[in-house]
């Protein structure tokens, strides 16, 4: 009588060799996928926070180029009171220079006297002023301006006015006389130069 051997059945909890190999491949892939998701979420959160914390309309970062603290040319400012260094671009075109302001005067004729001789001096003058306010004020007070200039001219010596130094001294004296305040104004004028347009001594 022949006996047959029965094939033992695998246990319920045991997995087949194919299932075990597939599990070993899936586990690292899942771990790598989770790691990538966490890294992407971290980068996104960092970008979002930095964008929210940055003030709107903030000036861009400037390099340490330009002028530093006063008294230290070529060095960027240091310390808590230092002003930030900024780059100043050169002007695109030539800078416009303001036009000069001249106040022409009627010519003066005075008698120059000294113990030895008597001469007649004929002088044409133009005053150069610094601003329109001075020009307007001189035109308004023109009788007093002419009186002050006549007093200076008549006090000159016939010999002194014919030298270069004598003319320079006379121009400075006229400028000082005209720049004195007119009563009742508290401040003076700003005549910067006295120009001779005619000069004759006879």
Check residue 37 and report its DSSP letter.
H
The DSSP letter of residue 60 is P
Q: Which residues pair with 33 in a beta bridge?
A: none
Task: List, for residues 126-139, the tens digit of each pLDDT value.
Answer: 999 999 999 999 99
Phi and psi at residue 73, to the nearest 5° = -65, 140
3-state secondary structure of 133: helix
Question: Domain 101-201 falls in which CATH fold?
Answer: GTP Cyclohydrolase I, domain 2 (3.30.1130)
Tokens of 37: 């998701």
Residue 71 CA to residue 81 CA, distance in Å, equals 14
With contact defined as beta carbons under 8 Å apart, do 174 and 194 qualify?
yes
Tell me if 158 sits within 8 A of 114, measured CB to CB: yes
Q: What is the pLDDT of residues 31-66, one digit of tens each?
A: 888 888 988 888 888 877 877 776 555 555 555 544
Nearest to 171 by CA among 128, 136, 130, 137: 128
Share of the chain above pLDDT 90, in %: 38
Q: Residue 89 in 3-state DSSP?
A: coil
User: What average pLDDT score do residues 10-38 get?
Assistant: 70
Q: Coil, helix or strand for 152?
A: helix
Inter-axis angle of helices 142-154 and 164-179, nearest 10: 150
Answering whether pTM is above 0.75, one says: no
pLDDT tens-digit readout, 190-201: 999 999 999 999
Q: Where are the domains of the chain?
A: 101-201
């Amino acid at each position: 009588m022949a006996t047959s051997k029965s094939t033992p059945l695998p246990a319920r909890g045991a997995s087949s060799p194919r299932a075990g190999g597939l599990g070993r491949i899936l586990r690292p892939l899942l771990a790598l996928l989770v790691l990538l998701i966490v890294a992407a979420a971290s980068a996104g959160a960092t970008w979002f926070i930095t964008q929210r914390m940055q003030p709107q309309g903030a000036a861009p970062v400037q390099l340490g180029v330009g002028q530093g603290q006063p008294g230290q040319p070529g060095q960027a400012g240091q310390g808590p009171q230092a002003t930030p260094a900024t780059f100043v671009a050169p002007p695109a075109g030539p800078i416009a220079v303001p036009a000069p302001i001249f106040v022409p005067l009627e010519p003066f004729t005075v008698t120059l006297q000294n113990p030895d001789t008597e001469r007649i001096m004929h002088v044409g003058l133009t005053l150069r002023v610094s601003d329109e306010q001075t020009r307007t004020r001189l035109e308004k007070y023109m009788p007093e301006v002419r009186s002050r200039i006549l007093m200076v001219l008549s006090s000159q010596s016939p010999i002194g006015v014919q030298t270069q130094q004598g003319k320079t001294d006379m121009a400075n004296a006229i400028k000082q006389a005209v720049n004195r305040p007119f009563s009742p104004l508290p401040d003076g004028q700003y005549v910067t130069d006295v120009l001779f347009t005619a000069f004759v001594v006879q």
